[in-house]
Amino acid sequence: MSDGSMRRGMGWSTMADVAREAGVSLMTVSRVYKRPDSVAQRTREKVLETGRRLGFSPNSIAGNLASGRTSMIGIVVPSLRNSNNATSIQGMADYLRQASYHFMIANTGYSMEDEAAVVKAFMQRRPDGMVLTGTRHGHETIDLLKAAHMPVVETWETRGPFIDMATGFDNYEAARRITRHLVDRGYRTIGYIDYPAIGLDRYLERLRGLKDELGSAGLEPTSVVSPLDAGDLYQDASSFRGGALGLRKLQEASRDIDAVLCASDILAVGVLFECQRQGVRVPDQLAVAGFGDFEIAAEVPPGLTTIRTHGYQIGWNAAEMLVTRINQPRAEIPLRDVGYDLVVRGSS
């Protein structure tokens, strides 16, 4: 910051100030900060030195307006507290950072109306791309994004239709896989604790996978409970308790359950805790399995059998696909399936 360079609202010096001080044209200053190589070294150094002296910081808002590009991504997630999301957000953050993009982020609280509102609000800032969680969205949201030709990546699922691009894994197959594991291990009466949020496709897919797999094994359909409860949903963090609650519900529903599959590791760990309190031995009296392979799954005794998802990779992919498409608007970018892994531990 300096002398006579104060302007209106802010106290920033501008390119014009630097240009005048350095005795070059506005455009030269612009070039120095945007594509330094396109300016002669002597000129560049003079300009940079002047810029430093004036405390100049390029105003990207102005640049955005002039160029029509913002280098900004909008990210929409159901919750900011969900550690699953956190991992994929970190993946996006890491990719975007090295690509010189920033991102704004908002949560919808699992509500489609809120999602629509967020997307609409984000659009006014003209992001270069947008990342959504899941594949189920309101018509308004979809129409808006499509009409604007906004590059969009939907995450965590691989079953379309998609607005534009997608990366994730097959929740249905993953659920079948871990169910098959339980069946192979000899468990016959498998309870399911659903995610405490309604209507998310990826959780519906998991449940469907479980049911189909049990069906093809000739087993009775499972007993399904959900610890759904407004408080839980809003807090989102409170899912250990949800798992404990779910186990109790299952126990009420039928006494002879020998395994419990949970829609997430957090729920499953809650089940393990409840078993410990009840003196139920895992896996002898009850097997437990989760979904996600969060860090705790490996650490909680006796180790939680689960499906490892690749959240970080999903985030990284999403960002990479977006940036690719931004730079090559006509590129056809196919679905990226990051897969999943069955991880067997002591709980089964």
Binding site for DNA (CB under 7 A): 7-10, 12, 14-16, 24-28, 30-31, 33-34, 38-40, 42-44, 56, 58-59, 62-63, 65-69
305 secondary structure, DSSP code = B
Listed ranges 80-88, 153-161, 194-202, 250-258: which one lies at the site for a copy of itself (CB under 8 A): 80-88
Which of 95, 103, 187, 316 touches a copy of itself by CB under 8 A? 103
Count interface residues toward a copy of itself (CB under 8 A).
65
Cα distance between residue 249 and residue 242, in whole Å: 10
Asked whether 145 and 130 are in contact (CB, 8 A), the reply is yes
Q: H-type helices in the chain, by residue range?
A: 15-22, 26-34, 41-54, 60-67, 83-98, 112-124, 139-147, 171-184, 201-216, 230-235, 240-253, 265-278, 295-299, 311-327
Residues 165-224 that bind a copy of itself (CB under 8 A): none
Cα distance between residue 13 and residue 25, in whole Å: 15
Compute how many other C-beta atoms are within 10 angstroms of the C-beta atom of residue 227: 25
Binding flags for a copy of itself, 37-76, as an x/- string (CB under 8 A):
------------------x-xxxxxx-xx-xxxx-x----
Which of 95, 110, 122, 172 touches a copy of itself by CB under 8 A? 122
User: Does residue 309 touch a copy of itself according to CB under 8 A?
Assistant: no
User: Greatest CA separation found in the chain?
Assistant: 85
Minimum distance, C-beta of residue 274 to a copy of itself, in the bound complex (Å) = 9
Minimum distance, C-beta of residue 333 to DNA, in the bound complex (Å) = 23
Asked whether 16 and 2 are in contact (CB, 8 A), the reply is no
Query: What letter represents residue 187's amino acid?
Result: Y
Cα distance between residue 249 and residue 246, in whole Å: 5
- Residue 121: name its binding partner from DNA, a copy of itself, none (Cβ under 5 to 8 Å by kind): a copy of itself
Binding flags for a copy of itself, 256-295, as an x/- string (CB under 8 A):
-------------xx--x--xx----------------xx
Asked whether 336 and 317 are in contact (CB, 8 A), the reply is yes
User: Does residue 83 touch a copy of itself according to CB under 8 A?
Assistant: yes
Shorter beta-carbon distance to a copy of itself: residue 182 or 326: 326
- Buried b / exposed e along 190-216 (16+ C-beta atoms within 10 A): bbbbbbbbeebbbbbbbbebbbebbee
Helices (H) and strands (E) counted in the chain, each on its own, are 14, 12
Which of 215, 301, 327, 341 touches a copy of itself by CB under 8 A? 301
Question: Among 113, 108, 175, which Cα is nearest to 141's?
Answer: 113
Minimum distance, C-beta of residue 27 to DNA, in the bound complex (Å) = 4
Which of 39, 47, 116, 244 touches a copy of itself by CB under 8 A? 244
Minimum distance, C-beta of residue 237 to a copy of itself, in the bound complex (Å) = 5
Q: Which region holds residue 71: left if phi is over 0, alpha if psi is between -120 and 50, else beta?
A: left
Binding site for a copy of itself (CB under 8 A): 1, 8-12, 55, 57-62, 64-65, 67-70, 72, 79-81, 83, 86-87, 89-90, 93, 97, 102-107, 120-126, 147-149, 235, 237-241, 244, 269-270, 273, 276-277, 294-296, 298-301
